[in-house]
Amino acid sequence: MTISSDTDAMKTVLAIAAASLAALPAQAGNVGVRVVDSTGKPVTDAVVTIHPAAGVPSGPIRFPWANQVIQENIAFNPGTLIVPVGATVTFPNQDKVRHHVYSFSKPARFELKLFGREESRGYTFKTAGAVALGCNIHDSMSGFIKVVDTPFAAKTNATGGTLVEGVTGGAAKLTVWHPRLRAKDNEAVFDLDVPASGEIAKRIQIVLR
């Protein structure tokens, strides 16, 4: 009986220890990225995604910005939007004229037929990839939606810089996408070693069309 009691007690201790370890936050670091072109000028609206070798965390992916592309001043705003796979993007029209949004891109071929001011349409993006947007009424309108399968994604600002926070530590692949990047699928992939804590800075030079 004593042996049995000791065994039960040990099982309890091990279970508590395992639960405590599971509750600890994963080792993660921040990745600062600056994207420049072949002349050293900053590249704006480049999409940076990171896929850790250990895999991405389970659960739904959410970003702090809205899954929304506004049509105003005969333009898409934002010009490039990052959304997770499965997201429904709304397309509110704030112009005085009607729009007809469409895409012929492989990840999402769709049409949102004529709708006017203060009307909105939506579409659910089910496949990762780059989706080019256009308007059947206004040929000058052009935009992009980058559908991603990782929570570690961000877009470069006017200085070419961005910060991807809380990335799982260890080996990873960093991908830079831009509609004018001269490479297959408009993207370049780099090896990355993410620190278990703190921050790493990467300067990436790409060639644009």
Q: Same structural domain for residues 70 and 141? A: yes
Residue 1 has a pLDDT of 36
- Of 149, 167, 184, the position where a domain reaches its end is 149
Alpha carbon distance 113, 95 (integer Å): 15
Based on the structure, what is the number of domains in the chain? 2
Residue 117 has a pLDDT of 84
Q: Same structural domain for residues 128 and 173? A: no
Please indicate, yes or no, if residue 178 is contained in any of the structural domains: yes
Max Cα–Cα distance, the chain, nearest Å:
84
Cis peptide before 78 (omega within 30 of 0): yes
Alpha carbon distance 138, 70 (integer Å): 15
Q: Same structural domain for residues 157 and 131? A: no
Q: Same structural domain for residues 156 and 54? A: yes
Say whether 120 sits in a helix, a strand or coil.
strand
Please indicate, yes or no, if residue 14 is contained in any of the structural domains: no
Q: Same structural domain for residues 131 and 143? A: yes
- What does each of the 209 residues of the chain score in pLDDT, given as a tens digit? 333 444 554 444 344 444 433 443 468 999 999 999 999 999 999 999 999 999 999 999 999 999 999 999 999 999 999 999 999 999 999 999 999 999 999 999 999 998 988 889 999 999 999 999 999 999 999 999 999 999 999 999 999 999 999 999 999 999 999 999 999 999 999 999 999 999 999 999 999 99
Please indicate, yes or no, if residue 3 is contained in any of the structural domains: no
Identity of residue 163 = L
Q: Is the distance from CB of 67 to CB of 83 less than 8 angstroms?
A: yes
- Of 122, 149, 176, the position where a domain reaches its end is 149
Q: Same structural domain for residues 40 and 80? A: no
Structural domain harbouring 165: 27-58+151-209
Residue 26 has a pLDDT of 61
Q: Same structural domain for residues 109 and 161? A: no
